[in-house]
Structure 1
Amino acid sequence: MIKLLSFSELERQKWEELLSASPAATFFHTVECAQLWEGSYTFFKSFFLVDVAEDGRYLAGLPFVRARKGLDNYYSMPMGGTGGVVSKQSGLEGGLYAEWLKQAKRPRTERMMVFTEREEPTLIELGFSKKTFSTHVLMLTQDYASRLSRSVRKDIEHARQAGFSLDRLESKEMLAEFFAFSGRRAKKDFYTRRFFENLLGFLVPSHLAVWFCARKNGKLAAYQSCFLFKDKIIFWDTGFDSRFAKDRPGYFLKDRILTWAWENGFKEADFGQTPEGGKGAVEFKERMGGEARTVFEYTYASGLKKKLRSAFEEMWGRV
């Protein structure tokens, strides 16, 4: 039986058992990730479409969030990460995707998006369009450092000699320092103060995120936040103070984080999805030893509603 559950209705232990058994599970499928969105924005609401066995076990599930700002947009899952169906056995994906479309395809729905690491033919059959992107993954074998390019190893060696120290952002006091950090000025306004407060409050204590900082002479020079799940570490948000740029604080952090991940048993370092036109980002990730992996973006969209939104935004911009 397929059930649509809100965040508060989900039985957490059963969901975690499903994630533990599913090879497709990622950080973005976790309860904490859903909690992060619902707890940070008034217009986000988290849901779980679950295939429930007669004995109550969760056999498969599709986590997603609804963003309601005039029209509704559905994502599984946000952040350009991976979502889609997780299951204990193959063959359950089609029913969940079909039910999701049935539940969400309403007059106010603008689009539905699924980000996944595997191809989903069922979504094409249901009318979704497909785009392919790449992420870059460094396998953390004992000799992983040998796969870094010569120029990266040179920059890392320079950074090691620059006098940086490694710190962890784990307290509200340090979070205040983070918000005042000049390296965040160029960042999008979308990730609000509450979002980062919840990241620190929900994810770090659950060991699903880690937040490293580089300091020099006591001053914050750079930061890097990462998500953690099973044997994978995902590099997410980063920034640095341009006053320290010549000393390569970003390379200092990459080096120390990869060492930390290797020592703590992680097997893969994911440098994240590269957006369209991100040639420079691809080259950097390749220099870091990352091997390209294809990821997929599926979209079900109403062309008319997209035009209406564009017209509204254009008109609103003139006011």
Structure 2
Amino acid sequence: MRVASEVGLVSPPDTSAWDGLVAASPEATVFHTSAWAKLWTEEWKGSKWEAIVVQDSSGYSGGIGMISRRRGIFRTVESMPFGTYGGPIVREGHPDPSAVRRLLMEAYAARVARRLVARSRVTWYEGTAGDFPDNLRPEESITHVLALSSDYESVAKGFSPSTRRLVRQADESALSIRVAETSEDLHAFYEIAVETVRRRGGTPKPYSLYERILKSLVPAGLARYHLVLHEGAAVAASLHLFHEGTAMSWLPVSRESSWHLRPNNYLIASLLETLCGAGYLEYNFGATPLGAAGLVRFKEGWGARPRSVLIAGRRSALHRRLRS
């Protein structure tokens, strides 16, 4: 079906129109919101929020958001940072959503093929490989998602025997959990985050990013920090993001010295019970790297099941030559 529409790049998008599209798009996530985009344009000097949008008489009927960041003479383009979900979204009820997605992805591929775009990446949760253009082919990754219900006990029945055993051990370890709200709480979270990320071989994100999340996304109901305590000291923590009935584990962290207490199991079980009581529909455990058999067992032990994530990245030939 051919639908009268116009496609173009807007920089930045109209915030009200964009958030209206996000609210009306069943495939939208917290990472599609204007609040998430603003987080990065404030955190990264020289960055811009852009979107390719399809417009018709109702406004934005479809769009793909991205953060364009200056790096010397080059730019990087991510939909969206840091490898979180981006990709196209389409207003519910559109007569031909597949055509809109293909139109958006073709325009995105043209945008990131520009000579001075050094690197680009789009991460599309439950995306459709056939909607990618031929010059931007994706690779498949996975995340793990647990369906929730209002009855936590029915959800807990889906835990594996080993997961139930570890939750019982955690319950006997004199742990407690609370929301982290103050700057002192954030510093406690960050100390454990730095330890955890370095232990995994990564580079910790700057404290300023987590501070911005505390000041902007937390009051908006889009994020929440938690601390797990033992004898008054924080031994584990988490950052979760929220959107339309879905909670996502964005960064769970813990002190290695506390692992015998099972704080990670305690944190997840406590949050799942709270989320069930609050009417949440899904819990997304976050990205599962290919080949991470132990992590797969851990997530599936909670009853979570894999879902597809399509990722398409590109590096320009000019950038590769200059770096060689």
Calculate the TM-score normalised by the size of structure 2.
Answer: 0.87
Q: Of 292, 295, 302, which residue of structure 2 is paired with 1:288? A: 302
Give the aligned partner of residue 133 of structure 2. Answer: 124
Runs of 5+ unmatched residues, structure 2: 1-5
1:84 aligns to 2:119 (yes or no): no
* Runs of 5+ unmatched residues, structure 1: 312-319
Contact 1:222 / 1:241 at 8 angstroms: preserved in 2? yes
Q: CA deviation at 1:246?
A: 1.0
Counterpart residue number, 2:3 = none
- 2:272 counterpart of 1:270: no
Greater shift, 230-239 or 291-300, is seen at 291-300
Secondary structure of 1:266 counterpart: coil
Q: List, as ranges, runs of 4+ consecutive aligned residues in structure 1 with deviation greater than 6 Å.
A: none
User: Identity across aligned pairs (percent)?
Assistant: 26
Contact map agreement 1:65 1:75 (CA 8 A) in 2: yes
Change (3 A) 1:215 1:40: same
Tell me the CA shift for residue 305 of structure 1.
Answer: 2.9
Question: Displacement of 1:33 after TM fit?
Answer: 1.0
Indicate yes or no: 2:10 matched with 1:5: yes
Contact 2:113 2:316 in 1 (8 A): no
CA contact (8 A) 1:183 1:242 kept: no
The CA RMSD over aligned residues, in Å, is: 1.9
Change (3 A) 1:166 1:6: same
Give the C-alpha shift of residue 183 in structure 1.
Answer: 5.1
Using the size of structure 1 for normalisation, the TM-score is 0.89
Aligned to 1:314: none
Q: Which residue of the partner structure matches residue 185 of structure 2?
A: 174
Residue number in structure 1 paired with 2:68: 66
Paired residue type of 2:166: D
Distance in 1 between the 2:122 and 2:192 partners?
Answer: 34
User: For residues 105-125 of structure 1, what are the alpha-carbon distances to aligned partners after superposition, in whole Å with 9 as ceiling and x for unaligned?
Assistant: 322112332211211424233
**Counterpart of 1:168 in structure 2: which amino acid?**
V
Deviation at 1:77, TM superposition (A): 1.5
Q: Alignment partner of 2:133: what SS?
A: helix
Contact 2:115 2:316 in 1 (8 A): no
Determine the C-alpha separation between the residues in 1 that align with 2:231 and 2:189.
16
**What is the count of residue pairs matched by the alignment?**
305
Tell me whether 39-48 or 158-167 shows the greater mean CA deviation: 39-48
Q: CA deviation at 1:43?
A: 4.6
How far does residue 248 in structure 1 lie from its aligned partner after superposition? 0.8
Asked if 1:201 is matched to 2:206, the reply is: no
- The letter for the 2-side match of 1:5 is V
Which one of the candidate residues 132, 143, 155 is aligned to 1:135? 143
Rate the CA distance shift 1:301–1:122 in 2: closer, same or farther, 3 A. Answer: farther
Q: CA deviation at 1:11?
A: 2.6
- For 1:45 and 1:278, the matched residues in 2 are separated by 34
The alpha-carbon deviation at position 250 of structure 1 amounts to 0.9
Deviations 1:250-292 (A, max 9, x none): 1110011111111111111111111233222112111121111
1:302 lines up with 2:311 in the alignment: no
